[in-house]
Amino acid sequence: MARHHESVGELPPDQPLPKDVFVRVIAQGAAAGQFRPLDPHLGAAMMIGLLMRTVFFMQRKLVDLPAEDVQAEVCGAVQRIFLTR
């Protein structure tokens, strides 16, 4: 993960940070009625946290599930967080 933080500094100045892309997509999805109303910064934090911690647990073998099962669970969690009911 430390390498990720180092590489962010290598992005071209006109390229948005990954978190800014999440914020923009979440805001656009909510404005279009495809996502439930949610502060886009909070939504980005939730999404990034969900993804990063899942990878962290899998890399350390703290999750004993096949990758396909983890993917299905993560996709389900994302749908519950963002999609309108």
| Of residues 12 and 51, more confidently modeled | 51
Q: What is the pLDDT of residue 13?
A: 82
| Full-model pTM | 0.79
- The pLDDT tens digits of the residues spanning 39-77 come to 999 999 999 999 999 999 999 999 999 999 999 999 999
SS3 string, the chain, reads CHHHHHHHCCCCCCCCCHHHHHHHHHHHHHHCCCECCCCHHHHHHHHHHHHHHHHHHHHCCCCCCCHHHHHHHHHHHHHHHHECC
